[in-house]
Amino acid sequence: MIEIKDVHKSFATLEVLKGINLTVEKGEVLSVIGGSGSGKSTLLTCINGLEPINSGAILVDGTEVHAKSTDLNKLRRKIGIVFQQFNAFPHLTVLDNVTLAPRKVLGMGKKQAEEIAVQQLENVGLGDKINVYPGRLSGGQQQRMAIARALAMSPEYMLFDEVTSALDPQLVGEVLDTLKMLADDGMTMICVTHEMAFARDVSDRVAFFHQGVMAEIAPSDEFFRAPKHPETQKFLSNIRE
Amino acid sequence: MFSYTFQWNQALARLPQMLEGALVTMQVAIMSMVLGILIAIILTGFRLSGNKFLNAVAVTWIEIARNTPALFQIYMAHFGVASFGIHFSPFMSLLIGITFNNAGYLSENFRGALKAIPETQTRSARSLGMPPIMAFRTVVLPQMLRISFLPMTNQMVWAVLMTSLGVTVSMNADLYGVTQDLNALTFRTFELFAIAGVIFYIIVKVINLGARLIAARLFRY
């Protein structure tokens, strides 16, 4: 369970999160939507401790992320994150990209790590690309590799930060299919996204962020059928046009 | 017009001695590179540490290394420090001078290479649970070495050529020093230095070829 309690976060004088309260249960898929600068991506990087927060608390399975005593390296093993920019490690083959963390961080043997990696890569449809360097892959393939890389650590939570925003339109589908597959497998996911169809069809709940505040959160069908907050209505009507 | 008679045989007879000198030249160059790379990594760390004192140390080193003659640096390592009662052998002085120069240039190369690697690479590695040093070693360092590989090759070439400055601090075991001594002995000036020039040329060509082979093996992406 991820609990976010009254989290405030500023970059210099700019407050990007103004008291966020949110709980994500195990097995839940939450989509977070909102305009750029609404704070939704920042929230994700706070959840795995890549960014410090100014006040409030984030708890993952009861462990306070930003407490001094928390071993972030250990905590991050169970929180996978995939970024908008795929961040493939260019000097490593697809296989080595995926085995790197299990081997170095978890101390897994080469053979076992490779078995897991091949499995994960096959799941995302990259079984025939394992010995290729990421520079030879399309954006969609690199992004799917990044997903496999995160999954190879057997995380309990997955955070997706606009993972389709940097992709050519024809490549978005393949990545969304991968996310959908994960959701069907019961993975707990927080997806910051601009893909409304995905948010509606795949997620259990949808949250709308506006200027650092979570303006609305509701089950996805209700959220799209009858948005309550005027800013949500405005946002959705702009997108539908 | 010319009254000089070439006597190549006489000069070539000294080739074994010159090749021995070339080995010393390579020894100095390689040692100065290994030490230079290590110090350059430390200096780069100083520059990125955010500590004002460490940064000042690194900047001073780099500024002097890059903006003064290599001859000055070697001179200071021999005659300069001798003024304070510190005496290094010619070999040591040459090694220290070239290492100082290498470290300064390489540090700037490393810093540039680090800047070229997106911050998101480190973020990605950290988000996979890697501690900072592991993230640096497995993700950043390999990319940094590739970017700075060509500048490092150039610096290695420079290190070889800079050994010739050793004669100014009475270094006589390296290729240039040996050649100078043989010249004083035989006066086959043109022939001896021409041979030395050819040996330098071949060393540099071999370094460049070797670097290309290494790069082809290491950097396949």
Gap between the Cα atoms of A88 and A136, Å rounded: 11
A240 pLDDT exceeds 80?
no
Mean pLDDT of A142-171: 93
The strand pair at A157-161 and A2-11 is best described as: unpaired
A33, β-bridge pairs = A208
What pLDDT digit, counting tens, does each position of B32-82 carry?
999 999 999 999 999 988 899 999 999 999 999 999 999 999 999 999 999
Q: A169 burial class (0-12, 13-18, 19+ CB within 10 angstroms)?
A: exposed
Are A69 and A231 spatial neighbours (Cβ–Cβ below 8 Å)? Answer: no
Fill in the amino acid letter for A164.
Answer: T
The one-character DSSP state at B103 is H
CB–CB contact B128 A101 (8 Å): yes
Q: At what angle do helices B189-218 and B149-162 cross, to 10 degrees?
A: 160
Q: Which residues of chain B lie closer than 8 angstroms to A77, CB-CB?
A: 129
Q: What six digits make up the tokens of A59? A: 């708890």
Mean pLDDT of A149-175: 92
**Domain region containing A175:** 2-87+157-240
The structure tokens 């927060």 sit at: A53
The answer to the question of residue A183 being in a domain is yes
End-to-end CA distance of chain A: 36
For A:96-155, CB contacts with B below 8 A are 100-101, 104-105, 133-135, 146, 149-150, 153
Q: What is the pLDDT of residue B221?
A: 80
What pLDDT digit, counting tens, does each position of A13-22 carry?
999 999 999 9
H-state helical runs in A60-186: 72-75, 94-104, 110-123, 139-151, 169-184
B19 pLDDT exceeds 90?
yes
Give the total number of structural domains in chain A. Answer: 1
Nearest to B120 among A73, A87, A104 (CB): A87
Confidence of residue A241 (pLDDT cuts 50, 70, 90): low
For B:78-107, CB contacts with A below 8 A are none
CATH code for the domain in which residue A77 is found: 3.40.50.300
The structure tokens 């996204």 sit at: A193
H-state helical runs in B68-89: 70-75, 81-82
Closest CA to A180 of A158, A196, A160, A203: A203
From A85, which residue of chain B is nearest by alpha-carbon distance? B120
Q: Residue ranges per domain, chain B?
A: 8-218
Gap between the Cα atoms of B171 and B177, Å rounded: 6
CB–CB contact A50 B139 (8 Å): no
Nearest to B120 among A79, A83, A150 (CB): A83
Best probe of the A interface among B122, B128, B145, by most A CBs < 10 A, is B128
What pLDDT digit, counting tens, does each position of B153-183 carry?
999 999 999 999 999 999 999 999 999 999 9
What pLDDT digit, counting tens, does each position of B88-114 carry?
999 999 999 999 999 999 999 999 999
Mean pLDDT of A217-223: 95
What pLDDT digit, counting tens, does each position of B136-147 carry?
999 999 999 999
B11 pLDDT exceeds 80?
yes
For B:7-66, CB contacts with A below 8 A are none
Confidence of residue A23 (pLDDT cuts 50, 70, 90): very high
Confidence of residue A72 (pLDDT cuts 50, 70, 90): very high
How many angstroms separate the CA of residue B41 from the nearest CA in chain A? 20
B2 pLDDT exceeds 80?
no
Q: What six digits make up the tokens of A51? A: 């960014």
The answer to the question of residue A34 being in a domain is yes
How many angstroms separate the CA of residue A133 from the nearest CA in chain B? 6
Gap between the Cα atoms of A113 and A95, Å rounded: 10
Q: Which residues of chain A lie closer than 8 angstroms to B125, CB-CB?
A: 89, 101
Are A201 and A187 spatial neighbours (Cβ–Cβ below 8 Å)? Answer: no
B132 in contact with A at a CB cutoff of 8 Å?
Answer: no
CB–CB contact B128 A135 (8 Å): no
Q: What is the pLDDT of residue B171?
A: 95
Residue A74 dihedral angles phi and psi, to the nearest 5°: -75, -45
The answer to the question of residue A99 being in a domain is no
The one-character DSSP state at A134 is G
Mean pLDDT of A219-237: 92
> What's the pTM?
0.83
Q: What is the pLDDT of residue A33?
A: 94
A205, β-bridge pairs = A30, A219
The strand pair at A55-60 and A29-34 is best described as: unpaired
Are A45 and A79 spatial neighbours (Cβ–Cβ below 8 Å)? Answer: no
Q: What is the pLDDT of residue A89?
A: 96
Q: Above pLDDT 70, what percent of chain A?
A: 99
CATH number of B8-218: 1.10.3720.10
Gap between the Cα atoms of B151 and B116, Å rounded: 14
How many angstroms separate the CA of residue A91 from the nearest CA in chain B? 6
From B146, which residue of chain A is nearest by alpha-carbon distance? A91
What three-state secondary structure class fits B130?
Answer: coil
A62 pLDDT exceeds 90?
yes
Q: Which residues of chain B lie closer than 8 angstroms to A76, CB-CB?
A: 126-129
The answer to the question of residue A147 being in a domain is no
The answer to the question of residue A68 being in a domain is yes
From B120, which residue of chain A is nearest by alpha-carbon distance? A87
